[in-house]
Amino acid sequence: METLAGAELCFPHLLNTSCRKPMRPPSEAILLHILLSSISLLTVAVNLLVIISISHYRQLHTPTNLLLLSLAVSDLLMGLLMPFGIIFAGGCWFLGDLMCSVSCFVVFSIISVSVGNMVLISVDRYVAICDPLRYPTKVTPGRVKICVFLCWCCAFLYCSLILMDQLTQPGRYNSCVGECVAVINDNAEAVDLVFGFIAPVTIIIVLYIRVFVVAVSQARAMRSHIAAVTLQVSVTAKKSERKAARTLGIVIAVFLICFCPYHCVSLAGQNTLVNASSEALVVCLFYVNSCLNPVIYALFYPWFRKTIKLIVTLQILQPYSCEANIL
């Protein structure tokens, strides 16, 4: 009986302070490890392709693609952090309280960066569709770089304030050895609910509703030949902008589908989880989003498919390949 009881503990030699492993069938645990490992490898690989493509080819150095680059970097980092999720998939944390606090801080920060990137992408598409004539002067690569830099800085600063107790006193909220939890006080939780979830999601939805309303009205105007001659010259450009808005709209819709359950469960607290399986499902759903974005690019962006071919065939190593005609 003692051996069996010890086998259920994260640290069998600490009978009084060790956490107990969750009762999960072996087949489910193996499936979870395989799933997270596969998602991690795929996420790193596909987002690395996006980063190389946009960074290397000069034609892709547009304001919108710089935002996609920032999103790909955050998704890549999420893929690199998935092994920590694999470590914790067994229900026990073996890396110590300090690493627990650091990993929680980094994951929360990357989530905040992803949310910020989605808001910036929504604003970019809003200006491109609703104010196309002034878009080139309003949204420049330099301004986008500044916005991306501020997005990353604000995300890390925001999470350092939200998780201050977790960072200053690692393991403060752990009830036993082998547990890794991130707990924020009521005031910080209220702030996070507003600024980390409700506000950005509302901005994204409102802006995209406006984008699609304007895009539909423009399409109707062109079909009925009401547009003036000066506008007809830019029909191709407007079609391109609407296609980009549609593609990025799908990216944002997928992000919300994957993001909302995770955030709702986090806000609800661990006591409301039905079991460990439901928690694992929500976490996997959020992780999957990081590898879905490049898949969406491959389906809708011909330039991404072309750059993948150039990278895989090593043509990217040729002299002056960065000047290649991608678009």
Residues 261, 238: Cα–Cα separation, whole Å: 35
Residues 31, 305: Cα–Cα separation, whole Å: 31
Residues 279, 27: Cα–Cα separation, whole Å: 17
pLDDT digits (tens, 9 = 90+) for 73-118: 998 998 888 777 666 655 677 777 888 888 888 888 988 898 899 8
pLDDT value for 3: 42
pLDDT band at 274; cut points 50, 70, 90: very low
Query: What residue spans of the chain are helical by DSSP H?
Result: 2-7, 26-56, 63-88, 96-130, 135-138, 141-162, 164-168, 186-193, 199-223, 229-232, 235-268, 276-300, 302-312
Nearby residues of 132 by Cβ (< 8 Å), 6 or more positions away:
234, 237, 238, 241
Among 15-19, 93-97, 158-162, 189-193, where is mean pLDDT lowest? 15-19
pLDDT value for 145: 94
Residues 291, 314: Cα–Cα separation, whole Å: 23
Q: Is the dihedral of CA 277, 280, 173, 19 positive or negative?
A: positive
Considering the entire predicted model, what is its pTM? Answer: 0.81
Three-state secondary-structure class, residue 118: helix
pLDDT at 227 over 50: no
Top-confidence residue, 230 or 25: 25
Whole-angstrom CA distances from 220 to 213, 231, 233, 237, 247 are: 11, 13, 16, 16, 20
The β-bridge partners of 18 are 177
Residues 209, 197: Cα–Cα separation, whole Å: 18
pLDDT band at 23; cut points 50, 70, 90: low
Could you tell me the domains of the chain? 25-94+116-131+185-323 (1.20.1070.10)
Q: What is the mean pLDDT of the chain?
A: 77
